A and B are shown apart, each in its own frame.
Chain A
Amino acid sequence: MSFKAKFKRWFHSWASPKWFFEKSERWLPWLGVPALSLLAIGLVWGLIFAPEDYQQGNSFRIIYLHVPAAILSQSIFMMMAVAGAINLIWRIKLADMAAKHCAPIGASFAFIALATGAIWGKPTWGTWWVWDARLTSMLILLFLYLGVIALYSAIDNRETAGRSTAILSLVGLVNIPIIKYSVELWNTLHQPATFKLTEKPSMPAEMWVPLLIMVIGFYLFFGWILFKRMRAEVIEREFKAKWLQKKLIEN
């Protein structure tokens, strides 16, 4: 079988909850173990061994939670919208399950980003909160997540719930570039990004390497939690299926 045909087959298997349930069992340790190790390494490195900042002293260390949480909350929203679109267009159940479980995880990360930002803002800026464009658009992101969760649980019919929340997350997608460019389009209290794809980071390696480890750790952690939640969802939705009952009895 050619590589293209193999890839096509693999790609199409994502439509099958059965395939996902069987395969993901083997993937879980490959996500969970590196996720927890990277988070442990990154936290110890960032919170203890990284040098302190020349202006902020030790309070800058909150960056090791704040930045990964903020990045993840936006990535997850994009993934939720894309999964929602796949569900809308191709009616793939697994995409609906992914979108549904992106919402609570993304909302938690958005909350962590806002809370750590406020804790950092008090000593650095002199205030917990200010209604500038970056902070406000980030708060809107949290509200969009809460809206998606509320809408999903308000509609009894699973298909209608999935499609309605997909539309809400597609509309909410507009907020992502607003968050990203808010610090450049308007004058804000929040500083511009330290990391840009095209430039060298405005931070030495001994500070950004642990941050990069934390970001990768957060992504893997998200994948791990998402797959765990999706597996639980497969059990809930397909509990009548013979293959699943057989599988559950085996374990």
Chain B
Amino acid sequence: MAMHPKRKKRLIAVCLIVVTASAAIALILSALSSNINLFFSTTQIAQNEAPVEKRIRAGGMVLENSVKRDPNSLKIEFVLTDYANEVTVEYTGILPDLFREGQGIVVTGQLTPENVFVASEVLAKHDENYMPPEVADALEKSGHSDKIEQQ
């Protein structure tokens, strides 16, 4: 079916709007892409890509058996890892409910020159897996708990 030439012209104009807008936004996003990331990974910190003594965010998993709590205060120390590189984090304050070992978290704070991350805020990252507690217990018992802890 032949299209009316006027409509065809308008159809092309509509397509052009979408294509040029997409191209412009894609260019902006690729230029800004490192700034859009919410946090630095521990590997980026290990490779000195993160600025020192500036307010930044770091993200990763809380390493198993690395959480040390001070019995007399709210001070806590743990190791943040992406299972390639590690960063020690110090934090004083109340932790979110989902904070636990093997859990993904995002911390806000400053990196000291000794590569210790002094956090002022700890946020828990939730993964996309949902399940009833009984299922989680069953997975735990059968030794498949890695299935629920992977990000």
Q: Which residues of A line the B interface, CB within 8 A? A: 51-56, 60, 63, 85, 88-90, 123-127, 130-133, 167, 170-171, 173-175, 178, 185-189, 191-194, 202-204, 206-207
> Interface extent on B, as a size class?
35 or more
Selected contact of B25 from candidates A56, A126, A178, A204, CB within 8 Å: A178
A-contacting 9-mer, from B46-54, B66-74, B109-117, B119-127: B119-127
Q: CA A203 – CA B132 in complex, angstroms? A: 9
Give chain A nearest CB distance to B83 CB in angstroms: 15
Contact with A along B28-49 (1 / 0, CB 8 A): 0100010011110100000000
Q: Which A residues are in CB contact (< 8 Å) with B124?
A: 124-126
Residue ID in chain B nearest A63 by CB atoms: B130
Instruction: List chain B residues, Cβ under 8 A from A89.
Output: 7, 10-11, 14
Residues on A with beta carbons closer than 8 Å to the beta carbon of B7: 89-90
21 sample A-B contacts, Cβ–Cβ < 8 Å, listed by A number: A51-B132, A53-B133, A54-B132, A55-B136, A88-B14, A89-B11, A125-B126, A126-B122, A126-B124, A127-B121, A127-B123, A170-B14, A170-B17, A171-B21, A173-B21, A185-B36, A189-B38, A203-B130, A204-B132, A206-B132, A207-B132
Is the Cβ of A187 less than 8 Å from the Cβ of B21?
Answer: no
B37 touches A123 (CB 8 A): no
